[in-house]
A and B are shown apart, each in its own frame.
Chain A
Amino acid sequence: MSATELPLIGDYSTPSTALSGARIGVVTFPGTLDDRDATRAIRVAGAEAVSLWHADADLQNVDAVIIPGGFSYGDYLRAGAIARFAPMMDKIIDAANSDAKLPVLGICNGFQILTESHLLPGSMVKNDHLKFLCRDQVLRVENNTTAWTNQYAQGEEITIVLKNQDGQYVADEKTLDALEAEGRVAFSYVGWNPNGSRRNIAGITNEAGNVVGLMPHPEHAVEAGFGPDHTGTDGLGFFTSVLTHLVGGQK
């Protein structure tokens, strides 16, 4: 293996579960940063990760897609505003809206791309304190029926990594009311709102529950020793949830 290959990880064997046949795509845009981390999380959960290049228009028959964090196109315009027009995004938008309801998870910059794509409502603006913030963040699972949250208990509190500059979730009051009324707030911040997000919203889902976006990073909390406080693995549930969903085991 070359150190410069992507992903930069060893090929230790994945757990032999019935789910390991699942193939989950990870999209890389220019400026994407957490694609290797998402790839690792998929492997740790027992599935196969498939690299998807933004400029390609072939989903390679993946069973689900993760749009990872980073600063696509430098976030020099609005975060996610340019990435949203990538050929790969057209395919993802179509597949997410199709009858097959492709599961899509947008993390951080990926969440921003999903709102820019109108797969999810609202938008993200700069943190209210105007600084980049990296911290271990407690979230409450507000909806455990989505493709990406079914392995959590309703109301369960999990600790995963938060790290962003533009993490303040905003939407008009009507949208916020609807999100809450329809149970589409997937995660909320617990204890302290780290960025001024409306109604403490950390992540949301679409009506069908196949598209979920959130600002914190579950892929950074899947391996003991490298997650929050060097111990946490609370993020693994996202990845086992989608595998469970794919084999029809969703609650």
Chain B
Amino acid sequence: MSAAEVKKFNMDTVENAAATPETELPWAELGLKQNEFEEVVKVLGRRPTAAELAMYSVMWSEHCSYKSSKNHLRQFGDKVTEEMKKDMLVGIGENAGVTNLGDGWAVTFKIESHNSPTMIEPYQGAATGIGGIVRDIISMGARPVAVMDPLRFGAIDHPDTARIMHGAVAGIGGYGNSLGLPNIGGEMVFDSVYQGNPLVNALAVGVMRHEDIRLANASGLGNKVVLFGARTGGDGIGGASILSSESFDDSKPSKRPAVQVGDPFAEKILIECCLELFKGSLVEGIQDLGAAGISCATSELASNGDGGMDIELTSVLLRDPTLTPGEILMSESQERMMAVVSPDNVAAFEAVMDKWAVEYSWLGEVTDTNRLVIKWDGEVIVDVDPRTVAHDGPVYDRPYARPEWQDALQADTFKASAAGANLPSTGEELKATLVELMASPNLCSKNWITNQYDRYVGGNTALATPDDAGVIRVDEATGLGVALATDANGRYTYLDPYHGAQLALSEAYRNVATSGAIPMAVSDCLNFGSPEDPDVMWQLAEAIRGLSDACMVLGVPVTGGNVSLYNQTGTTPIHPTPVVAMLGKLDDVARRTPSGWRADADGQAIYLLGTTFDELDGSEFANLRGHLGGLPPKVDLEAEKTLGAILINASRDGMIDSAHDLSEGGLGAALGEMALRYGVGARVALDDLCARDGVDAFTALFSESQARAIVAVPRSEEVRFNDMATARNFPVLRLGVVDASATSLEVQGQFDLDLAELREAHEATLPKYFG
């Protein structure tokens, strides 16, 4: 580049910055607060250059720096026992945590949010959410093997919900399907609180041998730094800072240019090409480019390494040659990776790039200066201590306090409210209620969505939606595999953030155990409103405290995750929504437990495990009646552990053929879902349950008490199964039998519900609204 071209950008060099301290800089437009800008000046001992300002503004954004949540997130690292650390090979802080699976296998998984981009541009926002999380998994040295996507959109009948739904589902499918990654589960919740702030969380899981684990650090003086994959363009500039770190407001201009655009074909090539690099041990360190692009990759690689880094920015291959250095540093163009390569491996590295026709450019090398120096045609435009960019961002102790309205909300219980009057009681009323619940937006069949995702590719999918957990085989020789489930209930968490977060963890734990897997590790995606609102900050603090306390009791460590704040429209935040992803392990996926009985299960006994309390507050039934108040179901972590142990042992010892956890919609919905799974009927009676637990038939069917599951037990195993539950002092009750000759679900003395009628109601809802 000629000197004249350098001037074109009115280059702001470090020398220039030192000489012109009074120059006005657009720090506020880039999302920095005044105190933060002053901190940057203090750290540097001078004003930042334009390029440095760009880097600090994105890396110190809420999205990248966790500045509001950091003080609270520490609990995930602090509340960990030695036992919990046993299988944790890589913990919080890297691109994704890594858990030991045994036999030399390791698994890495992580869940992240892509909420704001999806609101603005649903297809690309959701698609690049998948792309980003998959690159995190590749960066750890793993082959990605599956994805999941918990979704929360506005009211099902709101016109804008169809825009989000069609775009986001097509985006997740269009991107994920093209990568060859089975989509094995997720969630779909409709609630008007998400109208202006839909939640699109994306989870990816990958597997590797222990020796293949890679970390993001730049070590070794003289090693080369290379950028490869897609070219850098003008898309997604400031995505992390101006998009994901403030609330939406109609008065501001469209933020669409801040959304990235995805190219799944490029990502698929990147996956295969990276795996070939790992196989040949051709990279010393690797980092994907996501939020904050090159700013993040260079500063994190350099600060995690043992030296510094020198980069020549004009070497970056561009899609748009008019980009300024600051824009190049901030661009969030997708499908890019940065690696550190020893000089000996340069030729082999280039051969792999050429084989896959991937573009690359050598940007610079690792130094021993402890400085990250970025030049533009030889002129120094960035000269910083990389730690100050990547790790030493501001940390806030945001004020928080229990909201004034919390007491009134908790006092407003469902049964005492007007909505809770005239509850269904006759058989016909209970039957109509079950059909209405199973056709309701949150409990209806999600086939309309999941049929747009490839759940088979890879040939290792042993369970997928609508089963309780997705199960993927890792090793064909032994059948070793993993199970994954994601859960959250924003309504519960709104009523009581501490226990609501624990309920999300409980359900994810229960779902994984129901599939027969041993729960091992957690990744969480904390979706909340503005941390500058003390009410929201209290919800966040309580949820983190609740989650970390419960993880200790259940013995499952948090290995990573993501915090998404500012999810609110004006001053109205979303329900606090801590999405918990649970990873479990199955020694042999052939033993996994499906969530429904087949015709060959005719005559098997149906058992209910656990105790039913009168817990309708925050339930789906209360939601149908438009009520939200009171206290969520009671958390009982010890009961969850015992229930989990029973389900896992029963699966391993062949005592049960199917199992389904009880959650939203209670026993009624669980029985309905199990019968619909393979279209096989059953006969059950509630009398013993009502007598034992002191509840009426309505409460027995629709209460959402925790630590419960239904199992189907072959006749030959009944004694053994009963003995096992009884020995553990866990409530177990025979409800009825599977009846393959029946085409209905009969609740004796109450109703006989035709499965065809139930299926029609269950499956018609999403097509009705979305075509």
Contacts and interface: CB of A to CB of B under 8 A. Distances in A.
User: Quick one: which of A37, A134, A227 has the most chain B CB within 10 A?
Assistant: A134
B208 A4 contact: yes
A34 B173 CA distance: 16
Contacts of A15: none
Contact of B456 (A1, A6, A161): A161
A84 interface: no
B462 A4 contact: no
Given A3-B105, A3-B212, A229-B678, 10 more contacts: A2-B279, A3-B208, A8-B458, A12-B476, A31-B178, A31-B265, A33-B457, A219-B459, A223-B459, A230-B462
Given A4-B212, A74-B263, A225 B589 contact: yes
B212 A2 contact: yes
B336 interface: no
Interface stretch (B283-291, B306-314, B446-454, B575-583): B446-454
A3 B356 contact: no
A245 interface: no
30 contacts: A2-B279, A3-B105, A3-B207, A3-B208, A3-B209, A4-B279, A8-B143, A8-B458, A11-B477, A12-B476, A30-B269, A31-B178, A33-B180, A40-B476, A70-B180, A71-B178, A71-B264, A71-B268, A74-B264, A75-B178, A132-B173, A132-B452, A133-B452, A134-B451, A134-B452, A134-B453, A165-B177, A226-B456, A226-B459, A230-B463
A23 interface: no
User: Quick one: which of B105, B457, B458, B589 has the most chain A CB within 10 A?
Assistant: B457
A8 B594 CA distance: 25
Contacts, number: 115
A9 interface: yes
B473 interface: yes
Contacts of A133: 451-452
Given A4-B275, A132-B452, A74 B178 contact: yes
B209 A225 contact: no
A140 interface: no
Nearest to A55: B355
Interface string B527-560: 0000000000000000000000000000000000
Contacts of B275: 4, 6
A73 B279 contact: no
A217 interface: yes
B463 A132 contact: no
Nearest to A161: B456
A61 B101 CA distance: 40
Interface residues of A, number: 41
B590 interface: yes
B750 to A, nearest CB: 31
Interface in B259-312: 263-266, 268-269, 272, 275-276, 278-279
Given A4-B212, A230-B463, A134 B279 contact: no
Nearest to B464: A230
Contacts of A226: 456, 459-462, 473
Interface residues of B, number: 51
B351 interface: no
Interface string A188-219: 00000000000000000000000000000101
B170 interface: yes
Given A30-B265, A225-B589, A220 B279 contact: no
Contacts of B589: 225
Contacts of A132: 170, 173-174, 177, 452-454
Nearest to A229: B678
A207 B187 CA distance: 48
B478 interface: yes
A30 B456 contact: no
B142 interface: yes
B357 interface: yes
B457 A163 contact: yes
Contacts of A4: 141, 143, 208, 212, 275-276, 278-279
A71 B265 contact: yes
A8 B473 CA distance: 11
A184 interface: no
A202 B174 CA distance: 22
A6 B272 CA distance: 9
B455 interface: yes
A-B pairs, top 10 by smallest CB distance, nearest first, are A74-B265, A10-B477, A33-B180, A10-B476, A4-B275, A37-B459, A9-B476, A220-B456, A3-B208, A71-B178
Nearest to A34: B457
User: Quick one: which of A2, A4, A12, A73 has the most chain B CB within 10 A?
Assistant: A4
A134 B276 CA distance: 30
A5 B265 CA distance: 20
A110 to B, nearest CB: 14
B475 interface: yes
A27 to B, nearest CB: 14
A186 B461 CA distance: 28
Contacts of A135: 451
Contact of A131 (B143, B170, B458): B170
Contacts of B477: 10-12
B356 A30 contact: yes
Contacts of B455: 134
A3 B452 contact: no
Contacts of A36: 458-459
A143 to B, nearest CB: 25
A161 B451 CA distance: 12
B460 A131 contact: no
Nearest to A73: B265
A168 B271 CA distance: 30
User: Quick one: which of B461, B473, B476, B589 has the most chain A CB within 10 A?
Assistant: B476
Contacts of B209: 1-3
Interface in B561-594: 589-590, 594
Contacts of A163: 177, 454, 456-457
Nearest to B269: A30
Interface in B338-361: 356-357
B452 A131 contact: yes
User: Quick one: which of A11, A30, A36 has the most chain B CB within 10 A?
Assistant: A30
A31 B269 contact: yes
A34 B460 CA distance: 12
B186 to A, nearest CB: 14
Contacts of B451: 133-135
Contacts of A5: 279
Contacts of B212: 2-4
A225 B586 CA distance: 14
A37 B454 contact: no
Nearest to B677: A229
A74 B462 CA distance: 27
Nearest to A9: B476
Contacts of A227: 456
Contacts of A30: 265, 268-269, 356-357
A53 to B, nearest CB: 8
A30 B276 CA distance: 14
B594 A230 contact: yes
Interface string A125-151: 000000111110000000000000000
Interface string B592-632: 00100000000000000000000000000000000000000
B449 to A, nearest CB: 10
B320 to A, nearest CB: 20
Contacts of A3: 105, 142-143, 207-209, 212
Nearest to A221: B456
Interface in A1-55: 1-6, 8-12, 30-31, 33-34, 36-37, 40
Interface in B206-221: 207-209, 212
